[in-house]
Structure 1
C-alpha cells in the first residue's frame, strides 16, 4: 500500500479529473489525501470522506472580464497562480509532514505541490488537467516566456529547492495528460491517459421530461468561472437557437442569471424551445443525448463532449481556451467563433455546420474512441503505482 497526496487549486475543472484517479487508487488499497485551499469543494467533488489538508489561498481579487491575449496570461500568473503557490506552500509542507506520502500528485497549476516535493526529495507526478501547456503555447511569445521563466525562478527560490531545475509544471518522472494525441497532437514525454470520466451525483430538479422529440438538442455552457463575461454571448446563442426552434431544442446554462427572466428555467418562464437554467448535470445530459455543444473551449467541457462523440462550436475567452479551441478545429471536431464579436447569423451557421455536416460528428467520434482506449482513471492510477514502486 502506498500513500498519494493530491495537491490541487480550488478549481472544479482541475479537481474533477483527479477525483476519478484518487478513487481508483483507494479501490486498489492505497491511501489518498488532498491539499487544497477549499476543503469543502474537494469534499463535494471527491466525497465527504475525503481526507483534505487545508491550505491558504491566493489573495482575493477580480480579473477584468474583457482582458485577453498575453495581458490576460500575465494577469493570471501575477494575480493568481504565483500568489497561490506561495500561499499554499506552508500548508502543503504541513500536509506532507503529517500524511507522509510516497508520491505527490501536483496539479499543473498547483506549483506548491511540485516545488515542495522537490524541496523535500519526494517523487512527484504532474496532473495535466489541460493539454494546452504541453503544446508550448508561448513558442511565438519569447518576451512572455522570458518573463515567465524569471517569475518561476523567483518562486523556486522562495518555496522550493534553489538547486532544483525542473519546471514545476512538468515532472521529470511522470506527466499524466488527460487527453490523447488525437485531440492535442503529438507531444513527447507525457503519458496520455485520456479524460478521467467518472460518475457524478445527479442532483434532482432537472426537467428531464423537457427533452426528447424529433429535434436536435444543443447544450450551451461557459463553465463555472465565466459568468462575469458571458452575458452578450449567451444572448446571441439564445437568438440563434430561437431562430432554429423548428429543428433545435436548446439548454443554456446561465449561472449568473444574465439572461434575466425571459426563458423557461428556474424562473418559470414559458419559452418552449430554450431552457435556461443556472446549472446542469452535464455528464448525465451528454449521456442522454446531446447533438452539439456550444462552449468556451474549457478543457473539461471539450473532453466530456468528445468522449460522447458530440461535435462543438467553441468560443474561447482566455487562458488555455484558445489553444484547446485550436485543437478542436485542427482535429475536425468543431467550428470556432469569436467570443466577443460573434453575431447570431454566424453562430447559427456554425451550429448548422456541426449539426448537419457529418464530418464533424465523425471526427468527434474518432476522438471519443481514442479517449476510451487510453484508459482514463485506471490507466493514470497504474502509472502512479509504477512511480511509487520505482521510488521505494
Structure 2
C-alpha cells in the first residue's frame, strides 16, 4: 500500500514561517537568519547503547562548531565519545535521583532493581522492560525536567527506542523534540520485535495481556495523566507491535538511512504513524579520527585508545599502499557486551529452554572463520590480506582461538575511518549503523546477525546482492557444539565467495552512489537549528499526546 509518510519535500509550518524538509538546500532562507542568531542550547538524551548514540555524535560536533551548546544526558561509559565532540556530558544517574537513589544502575535505567520491587525477578530484561517502561519514565521525569531547565534547552534530540522520558519531558516543558531513529525506518521494529519476543518464548499478545493485568502500570498511567497531562495507554508499543510512542510524541523523526533501504510497514503500523513526519538522512558520518562510543560493559567502557586506533589505521594505510586486501571484522557492541538477553553469555530461550549458540560462541566461530579464510600469511606476497578485528570488551574474547600473524585484534577499532580507506570484505553483525556505513563506502558484506533488526538487514544484504548472510543456529542446546562447527564453516564459505565475486562490490557501489544524495549531518543539524530558533507552537510538541 502507499506510504502516507513524507520525507523530502515535506511542508510544515513552525510558528508563522514555512519550512521545507528538502535535501541539501533545506531551509536555505532560514539558514541565513540562523547564522545571525545567538547561541542555542540543545539537549541530547541517549541510552547506554553505542549503536543508538553514535549517529548523534556527528550532529553534536556540527552544532558545537557553529557556536551552539550541546548537553548530553547519558551514562558515564559514553563520556569520552561525547566530550570528543565538544558537547557537555551530564550523568543520568546524578540527574535522575528519583530513579537511581537506592537502586542499582543497569543497561537501561535501574531495571534490575525495578524488577525486584515489582516481583519480576528472573524475567528477561526485554520482557520486564515492556512492562516497567512507564514506571521507570515516571521516576525519570522530575530530574529530566529540572535538567532541561538548568541547561535552558531550546530543543531536544533523543533516541525513541529507549528514551521515552525525553519527548514526554519536552512536551511538559513546551519545547520541540526530535527523535533520531537508528533502525531502518518506522517499519524497522515490527518484524525485529516479533523475532525477539519469539526467541524469548513469548508474543505481543502475551505481553499486552500482562500489561493489562499489571495494576502498577495502570496506576502509573493514571498518575502521569493527572500530574503532567500525559496520555499513555497499555497498548503503547505492543499494539501495533513496533510503533513507538516516542516518535508519535516528537515533533518529527529523523531516520539514519535512505528511503530505498527502509523496511516496509504493515497497514497497521502505517496507520498508527499517519500524520507523523519522517525525514530520511542517510548515514551519519563523523569527521575522520572522531571517537565512537563502544563496549556495552556495566562496570566501565573499554576503549582501544588513540594509540591503538592509530596503529590500526597505519597498518591499513600500509596494506592499501602495498595493494594488499583489507578485511574488517566487527560484530557490534551488544552481542560482545554484558546484555543479559543478547550479550556475550546469553542464549535465546524457547518454551523455557535455552537454544542455539551463545553470543560468545557466535562471535568466536565467526572470528575463527575469518582467520581460516584470510590467515594465510606470506610476507613476500602482495596478496596476503590484513585482517582487522574489533573484539569488544570481554577479557576472554580470543580464548581458544588461533590468531594468524596477519591479524590485528583490539577491543574497538575506528570503523568508519577504516571503511573510508577501502575495505574489501566486512564481516559484520548487520547492525543498522554498520550496515549503512559500509554501504555508503561501497563495501561488500558477510552478515552474521545476532538479534532484533540484524537478521532483517542480513536478508536485505542478500536481496540487494551486496553480500551474504550466515543465520544464527537455533536448535536445542545439545546440538550447540555441532552448530558452532557448522556455523564456522558456513561463515568461511560466505567470506570466500564474497571476496572472490566482484559483483558484490559492484552492487555495493551502486548503493553508495544512492546514499551520497542524502542530507546527512548537515540536514539533521539544520532541522534542529530551525526548531530551536522558531517559536514552535506547543500543540506541535504535544502531537500524539
Which TM-score band (shorter chain)? 0.7 to 0.9
RMSD: 3.4
Question: Using the alignment, how far apart are the partners of 2:210 and 2:523 within structure 1?
Answer: 32
Q: 1:78-227, aligned counterparts within 5 Å?
A: 85-108=137-160, 109-131=162-184, 133-138=186-191, 143=205, 146=208, 157=222, 159=224, 161-163=229-231, 167-185=245-263, 189-199=277-287, 200-201=290-291, 203-205=306-308, 206-207=311-312, 208-209=314-315, 212=319, 213-227=322-336
SS at match of 1:196: coil
Alpha-carbon distance change, 76 to 289 in structure 1, aligned in 2, over 3 angstroms: farther
Change (3 A) 1:85 1:28: same
| Cα distance in 1 for residues equivalent to 2:219 and 2:518 | 37
* 1:164/1:233 CA distance change after superposition, 3 Å: closer
> Match of 2:88?
51
1:253 is aligned to 2:398: no
Given the two structures, how large is their TM-score scaled by the length of structure 2? Answer: 0.61
The corresponding residue for 2:493 is 349
In the alignment, the residues of structure 2 paired with residue 290 and residue 307 of structure 1 have an alpha-carbon distance, to the nearest angstrom, of: 12
Distance 1:362 1:130 in 2: 25
Extract unaligned runs of 5+ from structure 1: 63-70, 265-270
C-alpha distance in 2 between matches for 1:344 and 1:19 = 35
In structure 1, what is the Cα distance between the partners aligned to 2:175 and 2:423? 44
TM-score by length of 1: 0.82
Following TM superposition, by how much is the alpha carbon of 1:164 offset from its aligned partner in structure 2, in angstroms?
6.2
For 1:299 and 1:371, locate their aligned partners in 2 and report how far apart those are by CA, in whole Å.
Answer: 14
> Take 2:186 and 2:436, find their aligned partners in 1: how far apart are those partners?
16
Q: Deviations over 1:252-284 (max 9, x none)?
A: 2223232227555xxxxxx32333332222122
How far apart, CA to CA, are the structure 2 residues paired with 1:297 and 1:330?
Answer: 14
1:384 aligns with 2:517: no
Unpaired runs of 5+ residues, structure 2, are: 1-37, 94-104, 114-123, 195-202, 234-243, 271-276, 292-304, 337-343, 346-358, 377-383, 474-482, 538-545
Q: How is 1:181-330 mapped onto 2 (pairs within 5 angstroms)? A: 181-185=259-263, 189-199=277-287, 200-201=290-291, 203-205=306-308, 206-207=311-312, 208-209=314-315, 212=319, 213-227=322-336, 228-229=344-345, 230-245=359-374, 246=376, 248-255=385-392, 256=394, 257-260=396-399, 271-330=404-463
Larger relative CO (CA 8 A, sep 6+): 1 or 2?
Answer: 2
Secondary structure of residue in 2 paired with 1:195? coil
**1:46-65 Cα shifts (integer Å, max 9, x gaps):** 43852233323522659xxx
Please give the alpha-carbon distance, in whole angstroms, between the structure 2 residues aligned to 1:232 and 1:126: 35
- Which residue in the other structure is 1:24 paired with? 62
Aligned partners of 1:148 and 1:131: how far apart in 2?
A: 29
- Identify if the C-alpha distance between structure 1 residues 14 and 88 changes in structure 2 by more than 3 Å, giving closer, same or farther: farther
Deviations 1:139-193 (A, max 9, x none): 9765268469869987655556333688223445210001112322467831001
Contact 1:132–1:323 under 8 Å retained in 2: no
